[in-house]
Amino acid sequence: MKNALLGAMAIAVLSSCTQAPAYAAPACVDVAAAKAPIVARQGRWTELTPEQWQFLRGVYAINPTMPLPGLPYGDKAVLVTVPGNDAGLAWFIDGDRACTPMALPKALVEMVLAVGAGDLNHEGKGA
């Protein structure tokens, strides 16, 4: 029941996200329970690269709306998106558990994708 409720909450957060909302959620749920409502709505569940995961860990750590202080659980992350919405949701994956969901506004989704593409922004010609 808790897993289904959290999956439904993730859909609700994602469908209304323009800024990261403040909400308290259980720390971890079964990956299948978190993924099922996303897939049922033709959403995408995309495993992120280690660089994207590290980037989002830093964002999580400084995000004052997250329910748990410090770094999120897990050793990888996924990006969840649904058709018709530019926002996203990150789940931090710890084995077979999806942990600490974090809403991502469009601008942050774009940054995560840029990190995955290896896009670098710097002034000058670089080395």
> What pLDDT does residue 121 have?
75
pLDDT at 66: 85
DSSP string for residues in 9-72: HHHHHHHH-SSPPP----SEEEHHHHHHHHHHTT-EEEEPPHHHHHHHHHHHHH-TT-SS-SSP
The pLDDT of residue 45:
96
Print pLDDT tens along the chain (127 aa): 444 434 444 544 444 443 444 444 557 999 999 999 999 999 999 999 999 999 999 999 999 888 878 899 999 999 999 999 999 999 999 999 999 999 999 999 999 999 999 887 767 665 5
- Per the CB < 8 A criterion, the answer to whether 109 and 89 are in contact is no
Per the structure block, which two tokens stand in for 12? 């609700």
Residue 55 CB: number of other CB atoms within 10 A?
19
Contacts by 60-63, CB closer than 8 A, 24 or more apart: 60/90, 60/92, 60/100, 60/102, 63/20, 63/102
C-alpha–C-alpha distance, residues 118 and 46, integer Å: 17
